[in-house]
Chain A
Amino acid sequence: MSNHRNKPSPNGKRQHKSSTRTYSIPDYRLEVPDYIVRQVRSGDEFRYEVEGDLNTPVPPIRDSNYLSKQQCIEIYRYMLLNRRMETALENLYKQGKVVGGVYFGLGQEACSCASAYALDKDDWFAPMIRNQGSLLVRGFRASDTMMQYMAKAGSPTKGRDGTSHFGDIEKRNMVSPISMLGDLIPVLSGVALGARLQGRNIAVMTYIGDGGQSTGVTYEGINFAAVQNLGLVLFIESNLWAYSTPSEMQYQVKDLAERAIGYGIPGVIIDGTDACQVYDAAREAVERAHGGEGPTLIEAKMMRMKGHAIHDAADYVPKPLFDYWKKRDPITRFENYLVREKKWLSAKENADLIAEVERVIEEEREIAVNSPMPTPESAEGGVYCEDGCHVIKPKYGLPKVRTTKSSAGPKQTEAAVHLK
């Protein structure tokens, strides 16, 4: 490092000497899309246009290094549940039963479900608005999310918040998301810090979009996890559109996984529509976390296949881009993989599985619809944790306290900051 500075050469001119460092960002994709989205003028209007090769063949699913046949089928089932639940929500919206909008994870089901599937029971997670599949994997019911959208008394927040904005610190280890982007990252890092003080290295998984990663708190949170070596597993869901803004206008690096270099942590790129790639990257990151090896950044490439929310027709998205990614639908591809390629599911077993999922969603929909609206007065109370409402105790056991020789009390030094 000391040789980094330029030294004068014998002839008096400064000799420019530099060393080059290289970093590797593993890219597990079996296809690297080659296109860009630009703003172009078209007559009197500006619009987005896609330029590049959009006729490449759909890549195969990469075989998992870890997943068994049974586990693949289970993830597939969660992905089906995820999609059918959102279809049910869309219908409930059309029937006027939803308060506010509906947010979809269409095209992102592999990323939501296979990532959460890689967590162990004691690990924690926090979803983003589109990770409604993660909730199902971690044991929440479809009716929980449906009741949130319908603002029902039976919803996890008893009507006080909607969408996937709920949590559970007792059983399912989930931190409730808020609408502001990036704030979950330091919070999840803090969860890992708390667990480590109690003697446990746990994995803490959360997500951020290619839009949300632009926030300052994203940097603060990842950097905190990096310097403290905490088991953060951060999925950057590069789904190309942040509301209506394409990723080209969100950042200048080629791939967001490159940001990992700047944080001093490992970063990988995966195909977010390939459940096996998602799981394998997540599992390796979770195992690093359990081993006390610190955070991992996983960039999952895919596309948001609907608008920002149900009101948004996404007509700013160039149609060829939709066509390109529709061919890469995570469920269709995984279904082909399980039924045709691996023959782990017969056509009949697959049909039975789909029918079972539809039955479950219908039952869940019934529960949600039949839950009453909250009373007006239930808006009151619960602002503070009052006496007796919670017992605070360390979740993983009482921290072991270091015994030092220093038995003296605090020092009595002068103030370092001298203000008059």
Chain B
Amino acid sequence: MPQLTYLEAIRQGIWEEMEKDPTVFCLGEDIGIYGGAFKVTDGFIDRFGPERVIDTPIAESAIVGAAFGASLTGMRPVAEFQFMDFIACAMNQISNMVAKTHYLWGAPAPLVLRGPSGGYVHGGPFHSQNPEMWFVHNPGLKVICPATPYDAKGLMKAAIRDNNPCIFLEHKYLYRRIKEEVPPDDYIVPLGKARIARAGRDLSIITYAALVHTALEAAGALSKEGIEIEILDLRTLAPLDQEAIVQTVRKTSKVIVLHEHSRTGGIAGEIAAIINERAFDDLDGPILRITGLDSAVPFSPPQEHHYLPQVADVIEQARKLKSY
């Protein structure tokens, strides 16, 4: 089985869907001859032509609007954002037009809005954000945050086939850093199903995307101390796999929620509330949060390092919770 990077797996997922389904097409800034800022769509224009690989003006609202309009005619557009930070420019289209459309007037909007998000690359405040919560709080959207090449391909294919608007956040730190065997087959990873990235008995870390790897590294170190961590990779934040959250709490009784985005109003608060409602009696300690700070993501490496959760933070908090 071929080894693919996270980026190559995403590329393969889109490519396969375009080969299979002529209603799938791509649009975005610099995605054609240039192949996209991160080269996710490199070579697509040569294979599928400029009709299906459309270079757009720098106009995020127009990109989302056009994708949505095309989806109303039965197309399945895949729109790239050069950085997910810039998706803010299209927020009205996404929040008020796209997300509400099925609930209000019964029109499905099968489209994918994808692009790189996340920090650890010194991208500065406008190229490092994790905007997933902006969308989680907009009912009607699906929010997808893969952690592995296998999942990235399978979730991308599922997102393209889904009849709902999907926000697909590709963690740019992972693009070319991780590699694994990815089947060249036509498979999907269903949306809304979390996975156990590591089984353990002592405490659970609930996380997703790049921080799955941070948690795995911490778990490896803690294992030597006899602390066995279970890691739940959420895969999608909307829909959220509540069952999987409840099950891991029942198993370990101790929970850390780990995410990159700012602490206040983050997914950790929501997960803590779900555990409170559904598994309070199973808890044997406080639910801990390890998160980004309540500020913009700073540029300078020492500052960014301080802002973002690190392996050492996870180890420290896990030890603390284990001994509670």
Contacts and interface: CB of A to CB of B under 8 A. Distances in A.
A169 B107 CA distance: 7
A220 B62 contact: yes
B96 interface: yes
In which size bucket is the chain A interface?
35 or more
A419 B122 contact: yes
A385 B164 contact: yes
Contacts, number: 223
Interface string A146-178: 000000000011001100011101000001101
B72 interface: yes
Given A165-B104, A197-B75, A401-B22, A413 B42 contact: yes
A282 interface: no
A204 B239 CA distance: 34
Contacts of B64: 186
B25 A197 contact: yes
Contact of A191 (B42, B47, B69): B69
B297 to A, nearest CB: 13
B72 A194 contact: yes
A149 B127 CA distance: 44
Nearest to B98: A187
Interface stretch (B31-39, B262-270, B271-279, B282-290): B31-39
Contacts of B35: 411, 413, 416
B96 A178 contact: yes
Contact of B65 (A185, A394, A413): A185
A152 B42 CA distance: 51
B105 A166 contact: yes
B86 interface: no
A406 B69 contact: no
Q: Which of the listed residues B23, B37, B104, B172 has the most CB atoms from chain A within 10 Å of its own CB?
A: B104
A419 B123 contact: yes
Interface in B180-199: none
Contacts of A392: 23, 74, 76, 108, 110, 163
A194 B59 contact: no
Contacts of B75: 194, 197-198, 394, 399
Contact of B61 (A220, A390, A398, A407): A220
Nearest to A390: B108
Interface in A262-318: none
B44 interface: yes
A402 B49 CA distance: 7
A85 to B, nearest CB: 20
B103 A193 contact: no
Nearest to A195: B73
A216 B70 CA distance: 21
B104 A384 contact: no
Contacts of A393: 74
B57 interface: yes
B71 interface: yes
B163 A190 contact: no
Contacts of B36: 416
A169 B104 CA distance: 13
B167 to A, nearest CB: 14
A167 B105 contact: yes
Given A187-B65, A392-B110, A398-B23, A408 B43 contact: yes
Contacts of B56: 224
Interface string A371-404: 0000000000011110001101111101111101
Given A186-B61, A217-B61, A221-B62, A193 B92 contact: no
A186 B37 contact: no
A411 B70 CA distance: 27
B22 A176 contact: no
B225 interface: no
Given A183-B96, A186-B66, A382 B37 contact: no
A281 B107 CA distance: 31
A419 B73 contact: no
Interface stretch (B7-15, B143-151, B215-223, B315-323): B7-15
Interface of A is mostly: loop
A409 interface: yes
Contacts of A413: 35, 39, 42
B4 to A, nearest CB: 10
Contacts of A407: 47
B57 A384 contact: no
Contact of A183 (B11, B47, B54, B97): B97
A224 B139 contact: no
B105 A399 contact: no
A131 interface: no
Interface in B47-88: 47-49, 51-52, 54, 56-57, 59, 61-77
A180 B96 contact: yes
A94 interface: no
Contacts of B51: 197, 402
A410 interface: yes
A398 B51 CA distance: 14
Contacts of B7: 415
Nearest to B142: A384
B124 to A, nearest CB: 10
A191 B43 contact: no
Contact of A420 (B11, B49, B71, B121): B121
Nearest to B15: A410
B175 interface: yes
A198 B73 contact: yes
Contacts of A180: 92, 96-97
A227 interface: yes
Given A157-B105, A385-B163, A399 B22 contact: yes
Interface string B82-126: 000000000011001100111111111110000000000111000
Contact of A419 (B43, B66, B121): B121
A188 B61 contact: no
B140 interface: yes
Given A169-B72, A186-B65, A399-B75, 11 more contacts: A176-B107, A183-B65, A186-B64, A187-B69, A197-B70, A216-B61, A217-B65, A224-B56, A224-B59, A398-B22, A419-B122
24 contacts: A156-B105, A157-B105, A160-B105, A161-B104, A176-B101, A187-B68, A190-B71, A197-B51, A198-B74, A217-B62, A217-B92, A223-B57, A395-B73, A396-B73, A398-B23, A399-B22, A406-B47, A408-B47, A410-B8, A410-B43, A414-B39, A415-B175, A416-B36, A417-B38
Interface of B: 7-8, 11-12, 15, 22-23, 25, 34-39, 41-44, 46-49, 51-52, 54, 56-57, 59, 61-77, 92-93, 96-97, 100-110, 121-123, 127, 139-140, 142, 163-164, 172, 175-176, 239
